[in-house]
Structure 1
Amino acid sequence: MSSIQTIAVLGAGTMGNGIAHVCARSGFNVLLSDRHDACHDRGLAIIEKNLAREVAKGKLTQQQAEEARARITPTLDREAFSVCDLAIEAATERFEIKSELFKELDRVLRPEAILASNTSSISITKLAAQTSRPAQVIGMHFFNPVPVMQLVEVVRGLQTSQATFDTVHALSKQLGKTPVEVNDAAGFVSNRVLMPLINEAIFATMEGVATPEAIDQVFQLGMAHPMGPLTLADFIGLDVCLDIMRILVEGTGDPKYRPCPLLIRMVDAGWLGRKSGRGFYTYT
């Protein structure tokens, strides 16, 4: 397809507003869409705060920040996506939610437009099958915080065409990211390796091997991790960790990915980590 100029981003939450930020900062026009105007307001406020931080650090000029912000247009009207060359879905990590969004996007986007998902674990092949354009469906798994983290896992579904992959691979570089090619498999590379590590750290907590603080210290001091696995789990969201573990079990059929009972109980209790104020640690 021709060069990408306008990008739709579905979801103004943590990942969505970060993706919108880097797209606008890189010169692309962005339509940012969520369920309510209040979601847009929160997302845009975060984008403005992060742009101001980049100005303060000398990474952008004030004019560049203002121009980037001006390129982002919030909208509740999905029909407006008809002008977009690419849509990046950044909704909740549930197949049924993403599936409905993909069906809607398939309806409103031009036939040549590309559909990408920021999913961290759900099958791109399965999402592509919900559309009439499976060759133009791909995964773009960004990492949090999106404006800072360099990696994008570019995930090929079984049906993804070489042209789609090449376009998205090149786009990722235009966004200032390092794209890494990954084939479609449960959890891809990042979460197939990371989530079992987090899950095992939760088992170690549940079994009294050590306190959360001690487990995190082992990984920070012994393995040079910037944060321990339980701090990271709180940062990601324990509900997201649980969803991914369940996807790994379902996608591989391997019981080694079974989620720790303590993780399930904490999610049931509403202890989701930073976003709820309580997880393995307490946040104010």
Structure 2
Amino acid sequence: MTTIKSVAIVGAGQMGAGIAQTVATGGYVVKLFDAAGDRVPQALGAIAASLARQVGRGLMDQAAADATLSRISAAGSLAEAAKADLVIEAAVEDEVVKKAILADLVPHLGPETLLASNTSSISITRLASTTDRPERFIGLHFMKPAPVMKLVEIIRGIATSAGTYDTAVAFAESLGKTTTNSEDFPAFIVNRILVPMINEAIYTLYEGVGNVASIDKALKLGANHPMGPLELADFMGLDVVLAIMNVLYDGLADSKYRPCPLLVKYVEAGWLGRKSGRGFYDYSGDVPVPTR
């Protein structure tokens, strides 16, 4: 098994920042890189705010929060990020983008470096095939928000070695996470079940069976879900929901995975949920208001 001491996260969006915080809290030195130069300072600010909230809630003391933040720093280049023992790609859920990042990483990697993707739906086998080390490539799917959610879904590609898998499991468990193993099929386990449910909720709205408030209330109280499916879609990002539905539809060729036309329209309008300020709810005020 490879010994992991340093970790690099490539992609400093919400997921990348959350993973960086989680890994640093676990005691690892973390380098955070994003091709967009302003993303890393924003991510570091978000991590500092998240840690401050944990201190305020009594979940962590100030010394631990300070130590966690001190372990995270910006990587000035992809080449610098590639020096870590483990590199986790956490870019947008777009196969073309992910493959381009991996292609740029490969020339800078050491022979023992492990590569992982935080993809929530895309084939690990296909991503691994674009690198020089498919046997050292694995899926590490952290749930959102990564510092809070206990699960890491681990996905082996067809070429992933047993040693890489064992190292990935040990790494995730060292962060205080519970792991589940998924075979490399579109959207894996969590999103194979969750996202079609969300898509069906959007169809229920589209067809006028219920409005936003009634659909979310029905699932929260009728199925004991902590969040309604439309509220959850906004939290995930409607562009992410659509991307996962497209992976399922394209990969499994089953009409039950057809993305709802209303979901497509919202994404085309730029109504992506919380991150854009509007989705199935309007987030411009103090309290989210249903938009339908």
TM-score bracket for the superposition, by shorter chain length = over 0.9
* Residue aligned with 1:60, SS: coil
Query: In the TM superposition, what whole-angstrom CA distance separates every residue of 1:112-168 from its partner, at most 9, and x where no partner exists?
Result: 111000000000000000011000110010011111000000011111110000000
Q: Where do residues 147-186 of structure 1 align in structure 2 (5 Å cutoff)?
A: 147-186=147-186
Residue 109 of structure 1 corresponds to 109
Q: Is the 8 A contact 1:32 1:72 kept in 2?
A: yes
**Partner of 2:240 in structure 1?**
240
Tell me the residue number matched to 2:118.
118
1:1-284 counterparts in 2 under 5 A?
Answer: 1-284=1-284
Secondary structure of the residue that 1:256 maps to in structure 2? helix
Q: For 1:61 and 1:221, locate their aligned partners in 2 and report how far apart those are by CA, in whole Å.
A: 35
CA RMSD across the alignment: 1.0
- In structure 2, relative to structure 1, the CA distance for the partners of 1:95 and 1:82 (3 Å cut) is closer
Whole-angstrom distance in 2 between the partners of 1:82 and 1:88: 10
Q: What is the distance in 2 between the residues matched to 1:127 and 1:278?
A: 32
Whether the 8 Å contact between 1:13 and 1:43 is mirrored in structure 2 is yes
Counterpart amino acid of residue 68 in structure 1: T
* Conserved 8 A contact 2:23-2:175: yes
Local SS of the residue matching 1:231:
helix
TM-score by length of 2: 0.95
Secondary structure of 1:65's aligned partner: helix
Aligned structure 1 segments of 4 or more residues deviating by more than 4 angstroms: none
Check conservation: 2:118, 2:139, Cα contact below 8 A.
Answer: yes
Deviation, 1:76, is 3.0
Per-residue CA deviation, residues 9-40 of structure 1 (Å, 9 max, x unaligned), is 01111100010001111110001001233111
Q: Number of paired residues?
A: 284
Amino acid of the structure 1 residue aligned with 2:245: M
Contact 1:154 1:181 survives alignment (8 Å): yes
List runs of 5+ in structure 1 lacking aligned partners: none
Over 3 Å counting, the alpha-carbon distance change for 1:223 and 1:8 in structure 2 is same
Q: Is this contact kept in 1: 2:2–2:112, CA < 8 A?
A: no
Q: How far apart, in 1, do the equivalents of 2:22 and 2:126 lie?
A: 27
Q: Secondary structure at the match of 1:83?
A: coil
User: Which amino acid in structure 1 is aligned with residue 121 of structure 2?
Assistant: S
Any unmatched runs of 5+ in structure 2? 285-292
**Do the aligned residues in 2 keep the contact of 1:36 with 1:76 (CA within 8 Å)?**
no
In the TM superposition, what is the alpha-carbon distance from 1:66 to its structure 2 partner? 1.1
Distance 1:8 1:105 in 2: 11
